[in-house]
Amino acid sequence: MAGVSTAHRPQPAATTRRGEALIEFLLRASAAIGIITTVGIVTVLLVEALFFFAEVSPVDFFTGTRWSASILPYAFGVIPLITSTLMIAFIALVLAVPLGVLAAVWMSEFASQRVRSVIKPVLEVLAGIPTIVYGFFAITVITPLLKATILPDLGTFSALSAGIVVGILVLPLVASLTEDALRAVPRGLREGSYALGATRWETVRRVLLPAALSGIAAAVILAMSRAVGETMAVVLAAGTNPQLTLNPTESVQTMTAFIVQISLGDTPTESIQFKALFAVGATLFAITFTLNLISAWLVARYRNVYE
């Protein structure tokens, strides 16, 4: 066996190079698939939206205050859908941001490691619950509770119930990202604050929160983006009444609810209502994309770099 030639055996270095080349190819392919998918989605939305705007004036669409896509006379003013979407997102943030930030501060600075190891997975479980379950929770628990306590005339569907349940839905996102931002602050800042005589709460309020501001702001913007794009919970809780109102106790229709309504119906693909689906989808995409850009800008603009 000592005389067997080893000239044709693959060398370890060559094998390693081939393995690395294969891994690099897979990584490039994965990135390309993501880019191609994104470009494809944007292209479809824009092309179909242009077909819609060939029949409906963009000015009327973006400035109109009446939306009626299923009842004559048809009207395609998207302002009621945008207003309802932003109102529900605002209610959600009013609930989620204070509770999420306080929960993050408590987990990061006050809770023991044992308690934190229990609470954080519970929050992650909340984030993993299907959104349609949140919708059923809104109409079976939140709405009856509101009617029984402070709003006896509240209907079955309302923007208030939808906003509360969406706030519960995005709360884990705010809490988790805020806690990560707080824990990324160097320990030396905490110790320096304590050395100057500050209490733990003063350290949180005057040192940690300002130092983690970029991460907290990004968490809030991403939570708003998530709330704006929420679908099933809003469909079940808010209803499908496309009216222009700022009254949270009334039934409204969001952009995502309209998309679900048209997608699941018997609307012909060549009809103006079906084309409106893509125009609304493109508008929703533009809003969420803008929010993501703002989030990235805030992180880059106010990020604190520590040596």
**CATH code of 269's domain:** 1.10.3720.10
Q: Is residue 25 part of a domain?
A: no
Residue 46: inside a domain: no
Condensed to tens digits (0 to 9), the pLDDT of residues 255-273 reads: 998 888 887 767 777 788 8
Please check whether residue 52 lies inside any domain of the structure. no
Task: Record the pTM.
Answer: 0.86
DSSP secondary-structure letter at 74? Answer: P
Return the pLDDT at 11: 56
Residue 12 lies in a domain: no
Confidence of residue 59 (pLDDT cuts 50, 70, 90): very high
Domain-located, residue 239:
yes
Report how far apart, in Å, the C-alpha atoms of 186 and of each of 117, 154, 288 are.
Answer: 21, 48, 32
pLDDT at 174: 92
Does residue 290 register a pLDDT over 60? yes
Query: How far is Cα 183 from Cα 201, in angstroms, rounded to an integer?
Result: 15
| pLDDT tens by residue, 111-158 | 888 888 888 888 888 888 888 899 999 999 999 999 998 888 888 899
pLDDT value of residue 264:
75
pLDDT tops 90 at residue 194: no
Range of the domain at 259: 80-302
Percent of the chain clearing pLDDT 90 (strictly above): 32
Q: How many domains does one find in the chain?
A: 1
282 vs 80: CA distance, rounded Å: 16
Q: How far is CA 26 from CA 15, 29, 35, 160, 166, in A?
A: 17, 5, 14, 47, 37
Is residue 32, in this structure, part of any structural domain at all? Answer: no
Residue 258 domain-assigned (yes or no): yes
pLDDT of residue 1: 44
Token digits for 232? 């099933």
Q: Residue 18 domain-assigned?
A: no
